Structure 1
């Protein structure tokens, strides 16, 4: 057995799993569409390991995510759409093109001399180059090319960033907070009217405005909400632990007592 396997070994493993004669029945059934949910799940597991700073686990999760790429590459090769070397070639060419300050010759191994620019200029150049790429693909307009399949909070953030690049933005966070308050009032009015469809629309407007607050604070809304979810789980778990010691469940006690236990758990976990 080899002491350390390589990417080539992983590609060979994938080809064995997809071998029509001796491969794995489950892997042989998979399609591009069928493994998308797994790809999304693996990406979130990578994010969770990073947020927890669990680097031993992160290595494993990154491997799981890499396997998704290898799987797509195998499917692409079988259908003669693309292969793994083609994926790598496209990626390297794109990154060289998007970093002209590092590769001014336009060649990874060419005569390159780093051009001194700051981070803000790097970001501006990156967006200009990406805009040109989108135009070449027929993705016209400021908001063109923002994937519809992104999580809603992430997509809202990307749409807002694109609009801000052309000046459509609040000059300060105060205006954004006022917008949140306005949307909350409109949601209250929609709820009071009993119009569920209108309430749903106003709730969307409120969430979109909250994402705008996150953007102005330079906070990723998905990360913030994941952290909030984890905090809720920990506090509710503490409540259930106390109740379990009494041989009780949350449904066995009043809402008032649950609130008291919640506040106790909150205070105990607040730094």
Structure 2
């Protein structure tokens, strides 16, 4: 009986071809059998982002706030009238009020306190953009639900916590800030009952509607999760107000995907 290992069957043969790894064995007249490595199926449980660490202020990328233990990044910013505001648990660095590392470790999430100094308009927004790692994407095609931990809070006495956010799942081919697959779903947040409360919400991926591309294509190549506070999601009386009474805080915890 002769053993013929891949890499030499009469002449050199690359082990890397098609990802096949195995041994071909010839035993008398018994023929040749092969062992082929199984293709790894997409996971039914995907940890997208967890374990936020404060990053130094970068004047070239001021919205970059945190890194994740998975090698991703968290950008947080605003537009259309929103600006930074806050005190207490927030670290003030270069005119920003972010939840510092001590509070992240205690509460399990990070975020930025915003206020608006003028009435909000249709193009006003707050956004939290999270990537799974510095480059690349993840495959969530074997999952059915988004699991996302969010806090709904406000520092101070005024009752102006925005209670609805829109979550965008985006991936595929990027063109500027847009992706070929972009799908969204709205989440109604629990009323605040203490500072920096965080609740985990399970959102069916079937509830997402797509502004571009398809959910099927998106699930095979997810590049980022974006949480936005948009005027149409809330329409609070204080959206027309100005000053410290308009402060709003969304706290972001772990993000994952799971099978039913």
TM-score of Structure 1 vs Structure 2, range by shorter chain: under 0.3
Greater share of helix: 1
Q: Considering Cα pairs closer than 8 Å and 6+ residues apart, tell me whether 1 or 2 has the greater RCO.
A: 2
Greater share of strand: 2
Normalized against structure 1, the TM-score is what? 0.20
Normalized against structure 2, the TM-score is what? 0.21
